């Protein structure tokens, strides 16, 4: 851990960790601070389980109340029509890439690492990620299988992957660069349609919200997203908005309104 590079792990106390998080409050958003806390908890827990430290120091560590919310990552929520509109406006393989992100909740790093051989019938196995041009194979315990229920998407994936190493392949035979694709293709297409898109992750965010609104069980959402904790999807990827409030209050109102009908008998 670079911050404590001159200290042994045994000397890091609960107070040190709390002060560290407090010192970062003016620089980072609440979500970033929570991520820092999670990494510290996992690291210290691993050290404690292996007997490298005698006591676990991350007990009742709190995130600062006030953080730098100007650093908060913005996420746009898109409708089905908007997502399909963007896909239709893009050339291949970017059109199919958007369609894939619209249909299954994979990260962009997972999507660009897909090969045609990862498909078994209509089931896609997420076997690897591509980050900054480097390919990392996932351990069997980290892999997950996701059914593709859209037959058009399935046909597109197989066609793109024919005689090629990667489904979403650049001209030089490597996986496409997601940053270049976002800048050159995704954002211009969205801008022409008047749609606000912050990045590739907006598709995952939108799909997660749609599954939750459709009543999908949180455990199923968590497993589809590849999370180890069920509440992580709700805490990080999902947010309530005005539509959710209207739906919730409207359903309550519909139940209460008959009792307020002056013509209805109370007998």
pLDDT in 10s for each residue of the chain, 267 residues: 678 888 898 999 999 999 999 999 888 888 888 888 988 998 899 999 999 999 999 998 988 888 777 655 566 788 999 999 999 999 999 999 999 999 998 999 999 999 999 999 999 999 999 999 999 999 998 899 999 999 999 999 999 999 899 999 999 999 999 999 999 999 999 999 999 898 998 998 888 888 888 888 888 888 888 766 545 444 444 454 555 445 544 554 455 455 444 455 444
Query: Does an H or E element contain 130, and which?
Result: strand 128-131
Is the whole-model pTM more than 0.85?
A: no
Pairing of strands 128-131, 123-126: unpaired
CATH 1.10.443.10 maps onto the chain at: 80-205
Q: 218 with 229: CB under 8 angstroms? A: no
Burial of 145 (C-beta count, 10 Å sphere; 0-12/13-18/19+): exposed
> The domain 80-205 is classified under which CATH number: 3.30.565.10, 3.20.20.80, 1.10.443.10, 2.40.128.280?
1.10.443.10
């Amino acid at each position: 851990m670079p911050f404590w590079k001159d200290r042994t792990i045994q000397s890091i106390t609960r107070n040190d960790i709390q002060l560290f998080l407090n010192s970062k409050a003016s620089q980072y958003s609440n979500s970033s601070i929570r991520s820092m806390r999670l990494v510290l908890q996992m690291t210290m827990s691993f050290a404690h389980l292996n007997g490298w430290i005698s006591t676990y120091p991350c007990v009742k560590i709190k995130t600062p109340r006030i953080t730098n919310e100007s650093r908060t990552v913005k996420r746009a929520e898109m409708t089905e029509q908007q997502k399909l509109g963007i896909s239709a406006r893009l050339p291949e393989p970017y059109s199919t890439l958007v369609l894939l992100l619209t249909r299954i909740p994979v990260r962009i790093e997972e999507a660009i690492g897909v090969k045609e051989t990862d498909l078994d019938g209509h089931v896609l196995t997420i076997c690897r990620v591509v980050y900054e041009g480097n390919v990392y194979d996932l351990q069997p315990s980290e892999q997950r299988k996701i059914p593709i229920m859209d037959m058009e998407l399935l046909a597109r994936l197989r066609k793109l992957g024919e005689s090629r190493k990667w489904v979403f392949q650049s001209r030089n035979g490597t996986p496409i660069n997601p940053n270049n694709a976002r800048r050159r293709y995704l954002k211009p297409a969205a801008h022409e349609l008047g749609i606000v898109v912050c990045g590739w992750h907006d598709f995952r965010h939108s799909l997660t919200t749609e599954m939750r609104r459709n009543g999908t069980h949180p455990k199923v959402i968590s497993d589809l997203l590849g999370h180890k904790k069920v509440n992580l999807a709700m805490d990080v990827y999902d947010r309530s908005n005005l539509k959710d409030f209207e739906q919730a209050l409207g359903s309550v109102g519909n139940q209460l309104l008959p009792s307020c009908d002056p013509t209805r008998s109370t007998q």
